[in-house]
């Protein structure tokens, strides 16, 4: 029996962990702080004027409308399909289950490139809507498959006994039990849409990120870019906070006891509709982009030459790998403290990394530009600065990885090691680190891949003369040179999307 709340939690934090952790968390908040500073550069009056301009309000409405449409579409896709692959007797459901998660691995600008290179009239709202829905519905779908898998089937049986066992009714019944999971997933989709740069930029849809980029590029008005970025961050913070609340509720309403593997519900003649829906979704989200890219490459050959693609690949890998190693190293003390010590400090650290989670790439990019121009002239647009920006952007991903693997180590192991004469740091070295080594490796891989497909930060902060796969693809797409973009798109599929799909499916 573990009595009272203090039990099994050490409250005294080891200083060798806490100092780097606090420094890292503070450093990760610097871009946001500096952004606010720039926004106030011309005084509160200017800020106020910018905020209440018609075009700012229009922007909020446009971005909000896009986020709302994508979120609704994602829920409409994810709920019945997740139900069909988890709770029904749909044939091939194990394969479908994996296939439906694949779009997560495809960068939004790559999907956008595939569509716009096929039909340029997709540009604008509909193109952005289509692409963002295709790449972001897995944020609802994935947690929902897990939640559906844990549902007690006895409710299905009771509903059937009472003559309310039709398939649509059972889907609604299951969805109502997983409301919290759906809400949390929806908020993640909305956050993703608001943060996304690649799709709206390629589709030329005037959403926040694209307008912020435009204001920055115009060059004369950094304060407007900063003001808009602050507004975007505020909205994102609300979404992040709401998501944390919704996820907490979803977890607390979940049954913790092991439930018997539910008997699949028979779809009978409805099965064909589910198969058709899955084929359409996977087709639009995965197969169509693949087909387009392969078509470009086979029609136009490798125009840029293999050498240029290789150079861009090397550019992507080099910075991403270095950044990933540093990010995970920085995340290690935070992840360990949050997972294994309960105190006000570790709670604050957790919140701080959560805040940075709300920072869209373009916001991190322009705030790093401001910081670089003002304080880091010598290294601004040099490789260390790009790596630093990646660290700031991906710290939450790495902390999440370290934390979730550290949480799986029973706290009792630390106690035993302490009683056997090991001090706090020796426990970390001899017990915790060896046990989270696989988690560290997978976090490093995920951050590497995330950095390789990252677009806005790379674009704005890459060292002069350096090209990466993402920047090359962007440059060619933005001038509608799709033939030249093809090989880079293919390289991203091979070296980023496929490894990402493999890495995420193994977690």
Contact call for residue 16 and other proteins (CB under 8 A): no
Per-residue tokens: 355:
């805040």
Among 34-42, 311-319, 407-415, 467-475, the segment contacting other proteins (CB under 8 A): 407-415
Among 410, 429, 480, 502, binds other proteins (CB under 8 A): 410
Residue with smaller CB distance to other proteins, 15 or 420: 420
Q: Which residues of 120-148 are buried (b: 16+ CB within 10 A; e: fewer)?
A: eebbebebbbbbbbbbbbbbbbbbbbebb
**Rounded Cα distance, 193 and 129, in Å:** 9
Among 18-26, 105-113, 349-357, 406-414, the segment contacting other proteins (CB under 8 A): 406-414
**CB of 424 vs other proteins, minimal distance in Å:** 8
Torsions phi, psi for 28 (to 5 deg)? -70, -15
**Rounded Cα distance, 148 and 265, in Å:** 13
Longest dimension (CA), the chain: 74
Q: Which residues of 296-321 are buried (b: 16+ CB within 10 A; e: fewer)?
A: bbeeeeeebeeebbebbbebbbebbb
Contact call for residue 406 and other proteins (CB under 8 A): no
Residue with smaller CB distance to other proteins, 383 or 404: 404
Contact call for residue 269 and other proteins (CB under 8 A): no
**CB of 2 vs other proteins, minimal distance in Å:** 6
**CB of 507 vs other proteins, minimal distance in Å:** 19
**CB of 419 vs other proteins, minimal distance in Å:** 5
Contact call for residue 429 and other proteins (CB under 8 A): no
Residue with smaller CB distance to other proteins, 36 or 411: 411
Exposure of 266 by Cβ count < 10 A (0-12 exposed, 13-18 middle, 19+ buried)? exposed
Among 16, 43, 301, 412, binds other proteins (CB under 8 A): 412
Contact call for residue 344 and other proteins (CB under 8 A): no
Among 119-127, 332-340, 352-360, 422-430, the segment contacting other proteins (CB under 8 A): 422-430
Binding mask 430-469 for other proteins (x = CB under 8 A): xx--xx----------------------------------
H/E segment holding residue 465? none
Quick one: which of 370, 332, 369 has its CA closest to 353? 332
Whether 167 and 103 have beta carbons less than 8 Å apart is answered as no
**Rounded Cα distance, 168 and 174, in Å:** 10
H/E segment holding residue 288? helix 288-300
**Rounded Cα distance, 365 and 244, in Å:** 25
Residues that bind other proteins (rule: CB under 8 A) add up to a total of: 25
Residue with smaller CB distance to other proteins, 276 or 425: 425
Residue with smaller CB distance to other proteins, 263 or 430: 430
Alpha helices in 269-360 (DSSP H): 271-282, 288-300, 305-340, 344-357
**Rounded Cα distance, 90 and 264, in Å:** 9
Contact call for residue 1 and other proteins (CB under 8 A): yes
Among 56-64, 125-133, 383-391, 416-424, the segment contacting other proteins (CB under 8 A): 416-424
Among 221, 422, 475, 478, binds other proteins (CB under 8 A): 422
Contact call for residue 43 and other proteins (CB under 8 A): no
Per-residue tokens: 318:
């080099």
Whether 8 and 412 have beta carbons less than 8 Å apart is answered as yes
Torsions phi, psi for 49 (to 5 deg)? -60, -45
Per-residue tokens: 223:
């304060």
Torsions phi, psi for 265 (to 5 deg)? -85, 135
Residue with smaller CB distance to other proteins, 2 or 298: 2
Exposure of 81 by Cβ count < 10 A (0-12 exposed, 13-18 middle, 19+ buried)? buried
Contact call for residue 258 and other proteins (CB under 8 A): no
Contact call for residue 10 and other proteins (CB under 8 A): yes
**Rounded Cα distance, 271 and 90, in Å:** 6
Residue with smaller CB distance to other proteins, 345 or 475: 345
Please report where in the chains the tokens 């693997």 appear, as a residue. Answer: 405
**CB of 410 vs other proteins, minimal distance in Å:** 6
Among 252, 256, 269, 419, binds other proteins (CB under 8 A): 419
Among 99-107, 357-365, 417-425, 460-468, the segment contacting other proteins (CB under 8 A): 417-425
Residue with smaller CB distance to other proteins, 86 or 417: 417
Contact call for residue 506 and other proteins (CB under 8 A): no
Among 98, 272, 420, 479, binds other proteins (CB under 8 A): 420
Among 307, 421, 465, 507, binds other proteins (CB under 8 A): 421
**CB of 405 vs other proteins, minimal distance in Å:** 13
**Rounded Cα distance, 250 and 453, in Å:** 31
Among 26, 98, 416, 441, binds other proteins (CB under 8 A): 416
Question: Under DSSP, is residue 156 helix (H, G, I), strand (E, B) or coil?
Answer: helix
Among 133, 151, 417, 453, binds other proteins (CB under 8 A): 417
| Residues at the contact surface with other proteins, assessed by CB under 8 A | 1-7, 10, 410, 412-413, 415-423, 426, 430-431, 434-435
């Amino acid at each position: 029996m573990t009595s009272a709340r203090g039990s099994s939690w050490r409250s005294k934090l080891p200083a060798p962990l806490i100092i780097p952790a606090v420094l890292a968390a503070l450093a990760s908040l610097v871009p946001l702080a500096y952004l606010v500073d720039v926004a106030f550069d011309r005084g509160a009056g200017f800020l106020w004027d910018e905020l209440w301009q018609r075009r700012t309000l229009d922007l909020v409405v446009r971005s909000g409308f896009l986020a709302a449409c994508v979120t609704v579409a994602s829920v409409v896709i994810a709920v019945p399909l997740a139900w069909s692959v988890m709770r029904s007797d749909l044939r091939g459901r194990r394969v479908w289950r994996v296939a439906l998660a694949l779009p997560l691995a495809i960068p939004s600008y790559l999907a956008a490139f595939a569509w716009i290179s096929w039909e340029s009239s997709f540009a604008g709202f509909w193109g952005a809507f289509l692409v963002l829905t295709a790449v972001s519905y897995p944020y609802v779908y994935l947690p929902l498959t897990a939640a559906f898998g844990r549902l007690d089937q006895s409710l299905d049986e009771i509903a059937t006994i009472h003559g309310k066992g039709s398939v649509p009714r059972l889907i609604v019944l299951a969805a109502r039990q997983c409301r919290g999971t759906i809400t949390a997933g929806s908020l993640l989709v909305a956050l993703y849409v608001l943060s996304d740069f690649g799709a709206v930029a390629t589709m030329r849809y005037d959403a926040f990120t694209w307008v912020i980029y435009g204001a920055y590029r115009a060059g004369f008005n950094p304060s407007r870019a900063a003001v808009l970025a602050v507004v975007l961050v505020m909205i994102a913070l609300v979404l992040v906070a709401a998501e944390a609340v919704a996820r907490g509720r979803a977890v607390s309403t979940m049954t913790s006891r092991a439930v018997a593997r539910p008997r699949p519900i028979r779809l009978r003649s409805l099965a064909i509709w589910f198969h058709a829906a899955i084929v359409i979704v996977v087709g639009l989200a995965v197969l169509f982009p693949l087909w387009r890219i392969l078509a470009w490459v086979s029609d136009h050959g490798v125009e840029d030459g293999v050498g240029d693609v290789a150079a861009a690949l090397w550019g992507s890998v080099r910075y991403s790998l270095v950044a990933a190693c540093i990010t995970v190293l920085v995340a290690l003390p935070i992840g360990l403290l949050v997972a294994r010590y309960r105190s006000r400090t570790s709670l604050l650290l957790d919140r701080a990394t959560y805040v940075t989670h709300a920072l869209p790439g373009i916001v991190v990019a322009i705030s790093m530009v401001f910081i670089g121009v003002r304080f880091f002239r010598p290294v601004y647009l040099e490789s260390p600065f790009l790596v630093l920006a990646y660290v700031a952007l991906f710290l939450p991903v790495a902390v999440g990885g370290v934390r979730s693997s550290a949480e799986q180590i029973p706290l009792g192991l630390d106690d035993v090691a302490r009683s056997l004469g090991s001090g706090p740091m020796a426990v970390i070295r001899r017990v915790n680190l060896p046990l989270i080594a696989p988690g560290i490796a997978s976090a490093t891989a995920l951050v590497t891949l995330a950095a390789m497909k990252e677009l806005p930060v790379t674009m704005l902060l890459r060292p002069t003369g350096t090209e990466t796969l993402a920047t090359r693809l962007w440059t060619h797409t933005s001038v509608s040179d799709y033939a030249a973009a093809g090989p880079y798109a293919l390289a991203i599929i091979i070296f980023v999307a496929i490894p990402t799909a493999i890495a995420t499916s193994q977690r």
